Structure 1
């Protein structure tokens, strides 16, 4: 078409791989994975985790790389166009809206967490946590107060605004001069920071540190020692599959976008596998060697299990870790800076990937310049991001996390797996994937992509939609007994979220708690309406873009 913007390219292969790895390596590698390992019995988690990596993670990585490169040959750099080029019906380009919408929703809250990492890194370097508790600092930074629907902090807003400006500025520089340069710097720095912390942390023993209650190796052994009895627990398998799914940033449309800038015969198999392996190294080797071993050394295994069970890896990483570093004496400020610095680099390499698909869509379909598309992305982001920063985290923050950052990613992955294997055709898809391949993928994965991966994704989607509060394993086991478990919606299921099952007050709730509950439900109604409106907005943009394409094609034909 006339007037099309100049096609961007990656400057180097290493830049592409690091950008893809940076897209996948995020906060979850260092916070969510250790928490999942603790919640699911440590070594009991690793066997299902590695199996899920082979039958879910790698196949989906190759599927997304292949789809992206294929769509890029038709001038598409975002999922609506990429899916449209592979599908046989108009439906697929509208299904591809998830690859734009999810990135906007995730960026709205992810950039807020990124700003916490920046603030915590600076405060750690000033040795601020020697006198201030992390919980108190977090409340000050976020403006959180109990039973208040508003959570406004001027300082927190400044850090949040700074992160948004930094991301927009980098994105405006383009693929090679912006995202690729940051990835080439950020990923090595992240790995260096994590390696230094892991080495120092694993040296902790009660003999060398009077504050330690046991050796850090106890925590490391807990994560790594296999426990084969986990193979019969369906909850562990679902948790492992879910972790693999989320750690690789599957179902977001970011990998489709990045790989769409490849040339027709550029490799996708070795590049895709290298990105996946880099992510696994950062998650399992580095992520598994920092948070849990250091926490166990100072708190003991039982207390760490209790803290994770009642909270999350985020709580342990932000509200407990800064205090533990105080035991390192003069090294405490540097250790805190390294920890939150690596989290910041993990976050920014991922957040940049969230903006690129939306900008690529605006550039390609509406002929906006790079700078104008960056500003347009900022204009879309701010109305979603501001409520995240000024309302209690149980409203916009948690809702965006669940719907945009969890549930809809699985939904999109189901769609893309079906599109690749059953609509486009796995035979045609396999041939496309293997063209120019530097890594000859075993034929075993052909059948995995056709049957195992789509089936497993559908199981994960259904299990997360219709989940009982007691868990699927206990519910199924109880069906053959005289007292079967009553089916009640789990608070973290899709249906449970719709019904606000995660906002259930005790019978003796105070008036303040009742008022907060009422306000929270109002806020959640507002944020769901905003999400629906933004999805409809993207739908309108896709409709307009394809109308323009049709008109231009008719003009060229005549």
Structure 2
């Protein structure tokens, strides 16, 4: 693998980094979370706040992360602590806020790889007919619960099978990261996205040609299924929750605010375009989400379960649709086992291209700040996160995954996005920021985005964060209510939730200590950080 004179890795070209960023963004949320959010929040009307959030929140954050990531790469920094310090050199504390950009992706990696491994297992189960005897929602849900180790029944006698697939999946992730930017991440994303889109298009065509599977129920057809998802319920637009759900989906789908894009962009050279590349990566993700994701799960469920059944399924959440409903649907079509394999394997590939990106901020931090080589940093990261993954595996039924998902994958994302937006537009300065964004650019971003990035985007983020604090903040912090849910904790689960939160605090404290240790020993370098 060739490197630049400074010894830092570089992407092989524009296509490589665009596919890597798109691979990071295209994940389970595109095919599972998006259709559920749309179905539950006004159908076609949901797309109005969705695209408003895309243009006012998603695109600006993409450009911000691409720009400050490339800026940090100019003085050999690939993670938020060093880059934030470079943006605000006079501050002694801003680097500690940058810890969120390492902490968040690491927490998500811990539980995401376990979920990802379920998809690998189900890919094999589809081909071998392991769940073929499950013919209704109850039996398929029982199969999933037993696989996760939540219950013991005729399908599985413990979590052993799931653990085996977890070991394979985890090892694959660390192996890819060990190979680095070009030979590992870029190569996997180039191949993976082709496989993903090929399988997704194949399944979409199969779904769209289902017609009305039951002649006695001609209204239960795919066209009406598309209408169920896309016909607008305009009254939903008056609900603040719909707008927040749309903004949350944009966050979830673009990997904006995770700190991952920032790290990927740091491996660009100073004259590499970020404006068009960021736009292209975002557009690729939207193609996968709106066109493909919106044309598979809900229309297929509608054709077999009708409007009432689909409504209940959508309320049951993304996992229920992906692991319970879709296997049942695909069992009922010719060659269903092969379509089921394609379904689960495309989700697995989407998961891998996302999870390897989540590992990179921590690995890059170890490389940059402790001068570790790539393989040593990757293995060290793997050893630590492998042990932490067992918290999710062993306490899955006690809410550990939900706690990690909320604090690492939701709360930290909004806070980090707000911090980097303020740093970029207000501290670094909009004039310098605009110049930096357009350096080497192949397009000129409309001038209105100067105003949007400086005023609208941070205001949007402050509103989202403030609304959560007002509505749910205190009950969530005091363990009166489960994160992002309107229900109290089940009996006996509060102690487990508190334990997970203490673990997360310890993780953040260790990362902050490492940042302190590095800066205590560091001599000024590059731009003075």
The TM-score normalised by the length of structure 1 is 0.88
Q: Residue 517 in 1 paired to residue 517 in 2? A: no
The answer on whether the counterparts of 1:129 and 1:323 sit within 8 Å (CA) in structure 2 is: no
Partners of 2:218 and 2:401 in 1: CA distance: 36
- The aligned counterpart of 1:113 is 115
Distance 1:225 1:81, change over 3 A: same
* Number of equivalences: 510
| Residues 212 and 201 (structure 1), Cα distance of their counterparts in 2 relative to 1, 3 Å cut | farther
Distance change >3 Å, CA 552–CA 222, structure 1 → 2: closer
Aligned to 2:272: 266
Q: Distance in 2 between matches of 1:535 and 1:365?
A: 17
| Conserved 8 A contact 2:146-2:158 | no
Aligned partners of 2:42 and 2:234 also within 8 Å: no
Structure 2 residue 288 is matched with structure 1 residue 286: no
The CA RMSD over aligned residues, in Å, is 2.2
Aligned pairs for 1:194-343 (under 5 A) are 194-206=200-212, 214-309=220-315, 311-329=316-334, 331-343=335-347
Segments of 5+ residues of structure 2 without an aligned counterpart are none
Rate the CA distance shift 1:552–1:180 in 2: closer, same or farther, 3 A: closer
Provide the rounded CA distance (Å) in 2 between the counterparts of 1:313 and 1:379. 30
1-structure distance, mates of 2:286, 2:21: 13
Q: Deviations over 1:486-532 (max 9, x none)?
A: xxxxxxx333322333469xxxxxxxx99x722x2111111111101
Residue 64 of structure 2 corresponds to residue 91 of structure 1: no
Is contact 2:68-2:83 (8 Å) kept? yes
Partner of 2:480: 501
Aligned ranges for residues 330-409 of structure 1 at < 5 Å?
A: 331-409=335-413
Residue pairs, 1:405-424, within 5 angstroms: 405-424=409-428
Label 1:125 to 1:211 Cα distance change in 2 as closer, same or farther (>3 A): farther
Q: Deviations over 1:27-58 (max 9, x none)?
A: 01111101100110211101111111111110
Moved more, 208-217 or 455-464: 208-217
**Of residues 97, 102, 105 in structure 1, which corresponds to 2:104?**
102
User: How far 1:25 moved relative to its partner?
Assistant: 0.7
CA gap 1:5/1:228 in 2 versus in 1, 3 angstroms: same
Q: Which residue of 2 aligns with 1:54?
A: 55
Q: Deviations over 1:373-429 (max 9, x none)?
A: 011111220232111001134422110001001111111111111111111111211
Q: SS of 1:129's equivalent?
A: coil
**Displacement after TM superposition at 1:140 (Å):** 2.3
- SS of the residue corresponding to residue 195 of structure 1 reads helix
Does structure 2 retain, via aligned residues, the 8 Å contact 1:99–1:252?
yes
Q: Distance in 2 between matches of 1:284 and 1:17?
A: 19
- TM-score when normalising by structure 2: 0.92
**Superimposed CA distance per residue, residues 61-97 of structure 1 (whole angstroms, 9 cap, x where no aligned partner):** 0011001011110110111111111013122111000
Where structure 1 has 5 or more consecutive residues not aligned to the other structure, the ranges are: 468-492, 505-512
Q: 1:290–1:457: structure 2 CA closer, same or farther, 3 Å change rule? A: same
